[in-house]
Amino acid sequence: MATLSYRADHQERGSRGQQWAKPQVVPPHPNGSGEHLIEEPTPGEEALQRAVQQLQADNAELQAEVHHLAATLRAALASTPDSGQSGTLDADELQQQQAAAQRFLEQQCQGADHLMLDLEQHDHSHLCLHPDGAAWQSGAYDGASSASLLSSLDGGPAAAPVYHQPPSVSQATLSCSMQHPGSICCSKLSSTLDPGGAACTISLHTTARCTADGTTVRRHLAPEELRALAAHALVGAAHSFSQASTADYRAKLGLLQVVAARHADLVRVLEQGVVICAEHTQPSQFDHKSYLLTLQDPHTAQRVHAIYKPRVYGDAGGWHRTPMEWVAYRLNLLLGLDLVPPVAYRTAPLTLNLGGEEEELVFQEGAMMLWVEHCKELREYPQREWGVDPAVLLSDTRVLDVLLHNSDRHHGHFLLGPHWAQGRERGGHWEGVPRPLLIDHAASFRKEAVVSMEHENAFSTGAVRCVSASTYLRLRFLDSHTVSEELGHHLSRAEQRALLHRRDYVLHYFDDLVASQGYAATVRE
pLDDT recorded at residue 133: 32
pLDDT recorded at residue 68: 61
d(CA 400, CA 243): 23
Among 181-195, 202-216, 389-403, 509-523, where is mean pLDDT lowest? 202-216
pLDDT recorded at residue 246: 82
Cβ contacts of residue 492 below 8 Å, gap of 6+?
A: none
pLDDT recorded at residue 265: 94
Are the beta carbons of 206 and 234 closer than 8 angstroms?
yes
Q: How would residue 19 be classed by pLDDT, with cut points 50, 70 and 90? A: very low
Cβ contacts of residue 260 below 8 Å, gap of 6+?
A: 254
- Of 101, 118, 105, 8, the C-alpha closest to 63 is 105
pLDDT of 238 above 80: yes
Is the pLDDT higher at 368 or at 280? Answer: 368
Are the beta carbons of 275 and 349 closer than 8 angstroms?
no
pLDDT of 86 above 50: no
pLDDT of 188 above 60: yes
Residues facing 304 on adjacent strands = 295
The arithmetic mean of pLDDT across residues 134-162, rounded, is 36
Listing from the earlier edge strand, what are the strands of the sheet with 291-296?
274-280, 291-296, 303-310, 366-370, 343-346
Is the pLDDT higher at 44 or at 313? Answer: 313
pLDDT recorded at residue 174: 80
The arithmetic mean of pLDDT across residues 252-265, rounded, is 83
Contacts for 388-391 with beta carbons within 8 Å, 24 or more apart? 388/435, 388/436, 389/524, 390/459, 390/461, 391/461, 391/465, 391/466, 391/524
Q: How would residue 409 be classed by pLDDT, with cut points 50, 70 and 90? A: very high
CA distance between the termini of the chain: 26
CA separation, residue 361 to residues 48, 279, 291, 295, 358 (Å): 74, 11, 11, 17, 10
- Of 508, 507, 480, 485, the C-alpha closest to 496 is 480
Q: What angle do CA 91, 186, 70 make, to 5 degrees?
A: 60
pTM recorded for the entire structure: 0.67
- Looking at residue 454, its amino acid is E
Among 53-62, 250-259, 282-291, 320-329, where is mean pLDDT lowest? 53-62
Q: How would residue 157 be classed by pLDDT, with cut points 50, 70 and 90? A: very low
Q: Percent helix, strand, coil in the chain (nearest 5)? A: 40, 20, 40
pLDDT recorded at residue 152: 33
Reduce the secondary structure of 328-390 to three states and give it as a string: HHHHHHHCCCCCCCCEEEECCCEEECCCCCCCCEEECCEEEEECCCCCEEHHHCCHHHCCCCH
Is the pLDDT higher at 138 or at 464? Answer: 464
- Looking at residue 108, its amino acid is Q
pLDDT of 69 above 70: no
pLDDT recorded at residue 55: 64
Q: Is 23 helix (H, G, I), strand (E, B) or coil?
A: coil
Q: How would residue 220 be classed by pLDDT, with cut points 50, 70 and 90? A: confident
pLDDT recorded at residue 443: 95
pLDDT recorded at residue 54: 66
Q: How would residue 44 be classed by pLDDT, with cut points 50, 70 and 90? A: low
pLDDT recorded at residue 172: 72
Among 138-147, 292-301, 490-499, where is mean pLDDT lowest? 138-147
Per-residue pLDDT reduced to its tens digit, 436-475: 999 999 999 999 999 999 999 999 999 999 999 999 999 9
d(CA 356, CA 137): 91
pLDDT recorded at residue 211: 78
Q: How would residue 427 be classed by pLDDT, with cut points 50, 70 and 90? A: confident
Per-residue pLDDT reduced to its tens digit, 348-403: 999 999 877 668 899 999 999 999 999 999 999 999 999 999 999 999 999 999 99
**Mean pLDDT across the chain:** 76
Cβ contacts of residue 502 below 8 Å, gap of 6+?
A: 402, 403, 405
The arithmetic mean of pLDDT across residues 278-299, rounded, is 86
pLDDT recorded at residue 105: 54
